[in-house]
A and B are shown apart, each in its own frame.
Chain A
Amino acid sequence: MKYQLVLDYHLGEGALGPYLEGLSEGIALARQCRRCDRVTFPPERNCTCQSQDNLPASFGWKTLAGTATIVHRTDGLGGGYALARFDGADNLAVCRIDNPDEEGAYATLLATGEYRPAITVEISGEPFETVE
């Protein structure tokens, strides 16, 4: 039998709200632990220092420059994606590459608009060395 299901979600953004709003405007808003200063983009809800000693931590938002260095990259039918480190961040981010024909080692965050905000970058600079 044939059956079609169409779903139109309105997702509660919760703690990620400022981050997602930043992405829609092309601003890299990272989360910073006020205790150990760890900066994460995309943001972590918990900090690694909490996992270690189980004491409460508090967090603030920090605006990064929005520039990143590619660490690993993959390309193919589904487009280009990278694991990149945003300048000032202590973790890596999975990024969609907007200009996959470019092979540069650097990336800059782009604004994605309000629909489905996600880390999307434009690549530039000298070619990125990859493993084969």
Chain B
Amino acid sequence: MVLVAGTGMTAFNRRKDGSGFRDWASDAFEEALVAAQIGRSDIDALVVASESDYFSMQLNPASVLSDDFGLSGVSCQRAEGGGASGQVAVHAGATLILSGLARRVAVVGFEPSASYLSGAAVSELYGYSFDAWTDGMSGVSSTALYALSAKAFMARCGATHDDFAAIAVQNRTYACDNPLAHLPLEITAEDVRDSTMISDPYRRLDCSPLSDGAAALILTHPDAAPESRRACPRITGIGAGSDRVRLGDRSDPGYFAGKEIAARRAYAMAGIEHPHRQIGLAEVYDAYSGAQLQAIEALGLSEDFLAEFRSGCFAQSGRLPVNLSGGLMGQGAPVGATGVAQAVSCVRQIDGTYHSGLQLRDPPRVAIADTHGGVATVCAVTVFSGEAE
């Protein structure tokens, strides 16, 4: 068990103020450090999440950030798993503490996915985050691969684009109450259906944006947090798993099998036997609207996910609210920061300190964060819990 003593995150958006990723990372780190009520000299390790040097023009970013943060001398490393990078870094940080190698770890994720390069350049680079040697060389976009997976999912379970559009609307609606969100939009399903077709079934409003931003956590051993922070939310389970990298090599290209493996491992560590009954909140990886439904299925959040989704089980007022932050589609997606920000949302919800319009009246006792890289190829799931009774 690992305490999350402090959290911090910047707004996710397209920066137009001339600031850079080192500014955002420092802002997120300082906020988390203050919240944790510890000094920087108490930190003994730094884990940095960033997907690609192509985006940042900085190899070995952990070396730069440890210096910027005034942490020179700490153990530092970068964690990377494509879109899962943020959550992979959370796992790396937690593992340092669980193994006894560190007592207080800063985990900082960042990505300048919006303002540094053109959208076309970022999209081309994303194409190489699948199997660059086969699929990537065809010029296939991330959206097209997710669309092919969604088609297989729809054909198997009967989900329709109307379901996807409802998710696209819902996540943007939640983002309206999240002052840090990139896409707070008041839209209808008709707006989604009328937006430009990118790769059917996915239209522009079914896609998550490219965002700039950073997020940070201070993790501590239970004995290493200041007395005032010992009742803070904790990480009780981490689990990772993987799937065949190419959709065509999977027995069902529409099922996120690697995510199921990651979730099972995280639940086992946290002692969760009935995820659909024991989990009170989930932040899942909605790179595309349909991927949110595919995630709900693979994470075992329901025994009949499509019917439960249609009846509102995963809405703010439902049994298990999903992506109240707005998710990637609403809050935004600065890749390395995404998974760390999911953790921030889960911890603040459990703590009862989330954005007022989105804070659950009865804070969840157990929340999960779920991210993946590729089309659910590298998967990482983290379980957060309130103070043990």
* Distance, CA A45 to CA B247, complexed state (A): 15
Residue of B135, B138, B147, B253 touching A120 (CB-CB under 8 A):
B138
Contact in complex: A75, B138 (CB < 8 Å): no
Complex: how many Å from CA A75 to CA B311? Answer: 31
**CB of B372 within 8 Å of the partner chain:** no
Give CA–CA (A132, B147) in the complex, Å.
Answer: 11
In the complex the two chains form, is A74's CB within 8 Å of B139's CB?
A: no
In the bound assembly, the distance between CA atoms of A44 and B152 in angstroms comes to 21
Contacts of B246 in A (CB 8 A): 42, 91, 94
Pairwise interchain contact B139-A94, C-beta atoms closer than 8 A: no
Chain B positions 155-208 with a Cβ under 8 Å from a chain A Cβ? 155, 160-161, 196-202
Check: A107 CB closer than 8 A to any chain B CB: no
Residue among A5, A72, A120 having the largest count of chain B Cβ atoms under 10 Å: A72
Q: Are B199 and A78 in contact (CB under 8 A)?
A: yes
Q: Given A78-B199, A79-B139, are A91 and B248 neighbors across the interface (CB < 8 Å)?
A: yes
| Residue count of chain B within 8 Å CB distance of chain A | 32
The reply on A32 being an interface residue by CB < 8 A is: no
B199-233 to A contact mask, C-beta < 8 Å, 1/0: 11110000000000000000000000000000000
Instruction: Decide: B139 and A96 in contact? CB cutoff 8 A.
Output: yes
Asked if A111 lies at the interface with its beta carbon under 8 angstroms from chain B, I say: no
A-B contact pairs, 28 of them (CB 8 A): A42-B246, A44-B249, A72-B151, A72-B253, A74-B147, A74-B199, A76-B143, A77-B197, A77-B199, A78-B139, A78-B199, A81-B140, A81-B147, A81-B148, A83-B148, A83-B151, A91-B246, A91-B248, A92-B247, A92-B249, A92-B253, A94-B246, A116-B137, A117-B137, A118-B137, A120-B138, A130-B151, A132-B160
Interface residues of A (CB under 8 A from B): 3, 5, 11, 16, 40, 42, 44, 71-79, 81-83, 91-96, 116-120, 130-132
Residues of B within 8 A of A (CB): 57, 133-135, 137-141, 143-145, 147-148, 151-152, 154-155, 160-161, 196-202, 246-249, 253
